């Protein structure tokens, strides 16, 4: 069943998220291949940059504190996309939903304590090759009001 194009332009948010140091470590190490155990995110694999988890090394580094793995941003910036595909009026079958495409733009690094506010908007709804596509654009600002992350999320609903 085709999703009604009249929902193009519908907005979701704002959603606010405070970045915490342990969450940054957990994400960087999960991506990096560590094995979480006993309440820790696990031992950092050798290839993972210490700027992402080691306070002492990061303090001496270019950013003065640990920084977020860039795509950590999805943890908070996904909210409008999640809200759109779960919006009962759109009627998306979540079991048939897969992630089709993703764009992320990072205008600055993110550090523990940053407070990110994300808003989003349905940019497009269309059908192609028997599948339905929902495209959501997001923008995340820090506590100073600067745009730090822009996202373009494309969900594909298989038929």
Partner 1 sequence: MARTFQVGDTFTHVRECDLYRPIYYAGASGDFNPIHIDPEVGKVAGLNGVILQGLCTLAWAVEAVGLFVGDPGRIRKVKVRFSRPVRPEDVVTFEGKVIALEADRLTTEVTATNQRGEAVLKGAIVEASLG
Q: Contact positions toward partner 1, by CB under 8 A?
A: 23, 26-27, 29-36, 41, 47, 49, 51-52, 62-63, 67, 69-71, 74-75, 78, 94-107, 109, 158
**Strand intervals (E) in 25-159:** 97-106, 115-128, 131-141, 147-157
Shortest Å distance, C-beta 5 to partner 1: 23
Shortest Å distance, C-beta 95 to partner 1: 5
Tokens of 115: 């407070």
Chain centroid to Cα 109, Å, comes to 14
Distance CA 38, CA 125 (A): 44
Shortest Å distance, C-beta 73 to partner 1: 10
Nearer to partner 1, 4 or 103 (CB): 103
133 sits in the region (left: phi over 0; alpha: psi -120 to 50; else beta) called beta
Nearer to partner 1, 32 or 112 (CB): 32
Nearer to partner 1, 63 or 91 (CB): 63
φ, ψ for residue 66 (rounded to 5)? -65, 150
Nearer to partner 1, 102 or 117 (CB): 102
């Amino acid at each position: 069943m085709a999703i009604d194009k009249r929902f193009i332009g519908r907005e979701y948010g704002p959603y606010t998220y405070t970045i915490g140091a342990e969450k940054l470590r957990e994400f960087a190490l999960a991506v990096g291949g560590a094995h979480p155990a006993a309440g820790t995110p696990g031992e950092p694999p050798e290839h993972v940059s210490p700027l992402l988890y080691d306070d002492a090394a990061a303090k001496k580094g270019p950013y003065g504190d640990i920084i977020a793995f860039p795509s950590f941003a999805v943890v908070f910036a996904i909210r409008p996309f999640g809200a759109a595909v779960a919006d009962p009026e759109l009627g998306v079958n979540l079991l048939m939903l897969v992630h089709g495409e993703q764009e992320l733009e990072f205008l600055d690094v993110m550090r523990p304590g940053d407070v990110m506010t994300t808003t989003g908007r349905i940019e497009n709804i269309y059908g192609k090759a028997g599948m339905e596509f929902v495209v959501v654009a997001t923008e995340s600002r820090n506590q100073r009001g600067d745009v730090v992350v822009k996202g373009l999320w494309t969900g594909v609903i298989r038929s």
